[in-house]
Amino acid sequence: MIEHPIFLLRHGQTEWNLKGRLQGQLDSPLTTKGQAQAFLQRDILKPVFATFPQIYFLSSPLGRAWDTAVIAADGYPVQRNDFLKEVFAGSWEGRLRSDIVAERGGSAAEEDMFDLFLSAPDGEGGESLETRCRSALTALNGPTVIVSHGVVSAFLRGLVCGLDVPDIARLSHNQGVVFALHNGVETMLETRADAEQYLARTRA
């Protein structure tokens, strides 16, 4: 079990999120809504920074995550971490999810993207993804904020909480929130007040 508290963010909404394109390790810019979500995450994190003034702040180097991290960090130094990149989806990257689903079946819905990413025939796959997510968690040295992506953030959260892959696939992919992870339990923080209450409860 991971001993240190983790505060995990998914990047804000992007142009390709809005269009239903599968991004993977390609990139598209944050929308106006995505930028607003990052500012909301910054507000949620204010009591976290006050409680853990020496907290580590790690981000995927992909543009959408990095831009979210810079806003949410509010001046805290952010370190790029390649382990936190989104899962590689091979030749499906950049394509409309609806077109992929029309060819292979399944669902193009946001909540079903976990299966879509991991089933890409020339993509990274689940085993490799799990290995690098475990490596990312093992390397943590203290309380940490992490900014990552839909599939990778869900995998990280699931590993911390001891879930198997089917349960990880059912986790939410909310943007504009902070997932607090401590002692194998996940709590979704949607406001600064949520964060203040959570920290008062877990630090008592």
SS3 188: strand
Between CA 27 and CA 14 the distance in angstroms is 9
* Mean pLDDT score, 160-174: 93
Coil/strand/helix, residue 46: helix
Sequential DSSP letters for 115-153: HHHHT-TTS-HHHHHHHHHHHHHHT--SSEEEEE-HHHH
Neighbours of 21 (CB within 10 A): 20
- Can you give the pTM of this predicted structure? 0.96
Q: How would you label 107-132 residue by residue, b for 16+ Cβ within 10 Å and e otherwise?
A: ebeeebbbebbbebeebbbbeebeeb
Higher pLDDT pick, 110 / 3: 3
Which H/E stretch holds residue 80? strand 79-80
Question: 31-48: per-residue pLDDT in tens?
Answer: 999 999 999 999 999 999
Could you give the domains of the chain?
Answer: 6-202 (3.40.50.1240)
pLDDT given for residue 1 in this prediction:
66
- Quote the CA–CA distance of 3 and 26 in Å, as a whole number: 33
In tens, the pLDDT along 100-122 reads 999 888 777 766 778 889 999 99
Q: Which two tokens stand for residue 126?
A: 């689940």
Q: pLDDT grade, residue 203 (50/70/90)?
A: confident
pLDDT > 90: percent of the chain: 87
pLDDT digits (tens, 9 = 90+) for 11-70: 999 999 999 999 999 999 999 999 999 999 999 999 999 999 999 999 999 999 999 999
